[in-house]
Structure 1
Amino acid sequence: MYNFIFKERSILFNTHLGAYEGIMRCIEPKPDIVILGAGGRANHNGRPFQGSAAQFLTNQLQWLGNPPEVFFSLHDKSIIKPYYTDTTAAKLMMERDGRTRVVDTELGKQYELFQSDAVRK
């Protein structure tokens, strides 16, 4: 996990579907944009998470203070199992409170960060 800080803005990048809750809760500054790994089985505090990936992703957002924008990673088509992760349920759960927007991305497209609408280049 990396928290990149650019002057007064930050991007948190977590490469897998796992986290230590205490670390996620105390990250400062709270990220403006989060890139979360959404494939595989969730790992909470070093142990398998007892719930869905969508629930775990939603928990991560809460620990991070509900950042405005989220991008998924490691969920798209792959040559190894599980081949693909459907993120529809996660997106619906994460956007339920209206504070966070999950940005739907397309493979091979570029996205400009820190824009009000993650405008495609």
Structure 2
Amino acid sequence: MGVTIDTIKENKEKIANLIETFSKAIQKKNCGAEVLELLHGISFYSEQFFIAAGLLLEKYEILSFEKHEIRHMEFVKDLMQFQERLEKGESMLAFDLYDYVKNWFEDYLQGTENEILDQVGEN
């Protein structure tokens, strides 16, 4: 069973659900361990998304594959920096992390999915 458009859609949905849970945690002022757990989930499913999207970009020879890899590495680096700071007790950072992840999701992840859908022709 290979990677399909459904693979990236499923991971995108899981990330969206985690971001929604993140928003609720911040509203309840649960900015400690719960946020770290959500960050780990977002990291895991974004990695799965990046792998699947990368395979599809490569399979269909979509020119943005290199851009995709660079963006992935930037995202991982940023998440690691957020994680380190949260683990040191900078709980107010949770708001910045939420904004960062939400913007990344809206601007990059959805855009990557749309780019693949446009190129592959599966809508």
Give the alignment's TM-score, normalised by structure 2.
0.28
- The higher radius of gyration belongs to 2
Q: Looking at secondary structure, tell me which structure has more helix per residue.
A: 2
Q: Looking at secondary structure, tell me which structure has more strand per residue.
A: 1
Q: Which has the higher contact order (CA 8 A, sep 6+)?
A: 2
Give the alignment's TM-score, normalised by structure 1.
0.28
